[in-house]
Amino acid sequence: MDSLPQIRLKIERRSAHPWIYQKMVEKPSRKVPNGSVVDVVDRTGTWIGRGFWNGHSRISLRILTTDPNQAIDADFFRQRITQAIALRRQVLHLDAVTDAYRLVHSEGDHLSGLVVDRFGPVLVLEYFAAGMFRFREEILNALREQFPVSHFYWFAEEHVQKQESFDCHEPQPPEPIVITEHGLRFRVAPGAKHKTGFFLDQRDNRRRLAEFCEGRRVLDLCCNTGGFAIYAKALGKAEEVIGLDLDEEALELARSNAHLNQARIRFVQSDLFPWLRDAIANGQRFDVVVLDPSKQTRSREEIGQALKRYLDMNRLALQVVAPGGVFLTCSCTGLVREEDFLDVIRRAAWQAGRVVQVFHVSGAAGDHPWLLHVPESRYLKAVWCRVA
């Protein structure tokens, strides 16, 4: 194995977490290009791992292996990607359920900085680290071995490119495609606003929601492209379903998806705050209410504001749940801890004058695995309640 640049920490390594922050790292004596593979030693000189270096990023080191004999090369990516796909196919048996699922979930699959989603014949890669982008050809080749007739689309969000100091030139987005999930069909547009194309993480929660909907009146707040609403009507046989979202482009896809599944749903373009205030004033009540807003912050400095928005949304949403109705409220903000989100729901219920009985707390589907020592991978909280 060729000699690699060595990065020394200011601390003794006491955690197996793959992220090491800039403030914990000594400045290298010579320049090491961002995205380089480096060996990492702690302040005592003890070798602790090998991974990606980025002196420009707040996360300066991403540890990929703690095996000193394991190189970070094409074989490494082939092995890790093969293991990730085996979980989905051989353990979770997702091919029997859907042709759309997450193939690689970053830290959850020991590939910090990379997410890969499958949508039928299209594989969508999202890069979060300059090092992963540098190995893009090795990653694509490993994926081609598993999915030889697939098409590829890749991207990195602008704030990630700036933070990680790399330029990701996206290819032309593929044409929208139709995927299947639990017998339902959804049109997916990789490269659109939600660039990976579809919220795969809510698959199991969508299926469970359908169990509560037969003959009921259902409200899907922040419905995006209609996932929960369509499950409620097409699979759950709800009497009436209303889907609400501010994004007209997302609603166009939602209407198309409803048509694909012969589901009669009323989609409304509106900000949820004035719409809910009017609904409360008019005495509207729904037997099942879903609240699944977008990520509220990426910054630790803004967690307080995010919790305040969650409080305001949940307080209003709870007031339109019929007595004895089911309320599913979600947070996909990874920086918001589960206990803090539950406390927000408690305070929202008190302010709304409702009593909330939590009967289940779930998260992302199994194709979004997380490691016990990397709690950041467990970002989705889905709280199931009966409301009195």
Whether residue 99 contacts residue 120, with contact meaning beta carbons closer than 8 Å, is answered with: yes
Does 332 participate in catalysis according to the annotation? yes
Instruction: Say if strands 59-65 and 37-41 run parallel, antiparallel, or are unpaired.
Output: unpaired
Whether residue 185 contacts residue 101, with contact meaning beta carbons closer than 8 Å, is answered with: no
Cα separation, 142 vs 109, whole angstroms: 15
Residue 144: its H or E element: helix 136-146
Look up tokens 């006491």; give the residue.
Answer: 14
Q: Torsions phi, psi of 49, nearest 5?
A: 170, 180
Cα separation, 264 vs 231, whole angstroms: 12
- Upper half-sphere CA count for residue 139 (Cβ side, 13 Å): 24
- DSSP string spanning 15-44? ---SEEEGGGBPPPSS---TT-EEEEE-TT
Q: Is 386 exposed, middle or buried (0-12, 13-18, 19+ CB in 10 A)?
A: middle
Q: At what angle do helices 272-281 and 303-318 cross, to 10 degrees?
A: 30
Q: Is 173 exposed, middle or buried (0-12, 13-18, 19+ CB in 10 A)?
A: middle
Cβ atoms within 10 Å of 326's Cβ, excluding its own:
22
Hey, what amino acid is at 313? M
Q: At 99, is the secondary structure helix, strand, or coil?
A: coil
- Upper half-sphere CA count for residue 89 (Cβ side, 13 Å): 12
Q: Show the 3-state SS of 219-250.
A: EEECCCCCHHHHHHHHHCCCCEEEEEECCHHH
Residues constituting the chain: 388
Hey, what amino acid is at 170? E
Cβ atoms within 10 Å of 166's Cβ, excluding its own:
20
Considering the candidates 168, 213, 223, 332, report the single residue annotated as catalytic. 332
Cα separation, 369 vs 379, whole angstroms: 10
Catalytic (active-site) positions: 332
